[in-house]
Amino acid sequence: MTEGPQKTAITLCGSIRKGSVNEILRRHVSGKLREAGVAVTDLSLADFDMPIFNEDLEPDNVPESAGRLAEAFRTHDIVLIITPEYNGGLPPLVVNTLAWLSRQKLSPFRHAVFGIGGVSSGKYGTIWAQSHLRETLSKIGALVVPTLLGVGPNAEAFDANGVPVESAITYKVGQMVKELTHFSRGGI
């Protein structure tokens, strides 16, 4: 546990399907953040329904969930996003959510420190999706910690309790938790 006031985090998963393997990783990292003394709130994007972004919806038809999620980003020290890779990129759910959030004022991306990761069925473990997400978040002002938390193939990644089997993954999760709890941007 680091010194100073207790850090707060929100965690999100870019897949809302039942049985999501990314949800297993999100839950695992959430638990590790809690063990490190962080007050973690697990959110589901299923509770932040947003239509496909279209500028014609602004300003009169902006979904209230965009404002609600933006406020959660602004008011927590850590934002963890665990996402699948679709076709070498990001799933539409994540792209759409980021598009809406990027239009919210004040910026939801300039307060928290961000951690990103994901699980895929392929052995490359979402590395292309992570690269897209890191690039996008950085362009809109977010500070993303360096650890590359890509896990795959998912069939061999976790035991029945959702704990990573490979020591390399356990190490990376530990490294990410350390980075997320040690860096803080303060009230920018």
Q: Taking CB under 6 A as the criterion, which residues in 91-110 touch ligand FMN?
A: none
Q: Taking CB under 6 A as the criterion, which residues in 1-30 touch ligand FMN?
A: 15, 17, 20-22
Task: Please say which residue, 38 or 45, places its beta carbon nearer to ligand FMN.
Answer: 45
Residue indicated by tokens 């963890």: 80
3-state secondary structure of 174: helix
Query: What is d(CA 38, CA 151) in angstroms, rounded to the nearest whole number?
Result: 23
Asked if residues 13 and 83 have their Cβ atoms less than 8 Å apart, the reply is yes
The amino acid sitting at 53 is: F
Task: Please say which residue, 136 or 154, places its beta carbon nearer to ligand FMN.
Answer: 154
In this structure, the strands spanning 143-144 and 78-82 are unpaired
- Beta bridge partners, 150, equal 118
Binding mask 71-90 for ligand FMN (x = CB under 6 A): -------------xxxxx--
From the CB of 30, what's the least distance to ligand FMN, in Å? 15
Binding mask 109-148 for ligand FMN (x = CB under 6 A): -----------xxx-x------------------------
Task: Please say which residue, 57 or 127, places its beta carbon nearer to ligand FMN.
Answer: 127
Query: What is d(CA 176, CA 170) in angstroms, rounded to the nearest whole number?
Result: 10
From the CB of 17, what's the least distance to ligand FMN, in Å? 5
Q: Which of 14, 10, 25 is nearest to 162 (CA)?
A: 25
Query: Which positions touch ligand FMN (CB under 6 A)?
Result: 15, 17, 20-22, 84-88, 120-122, 124, 154
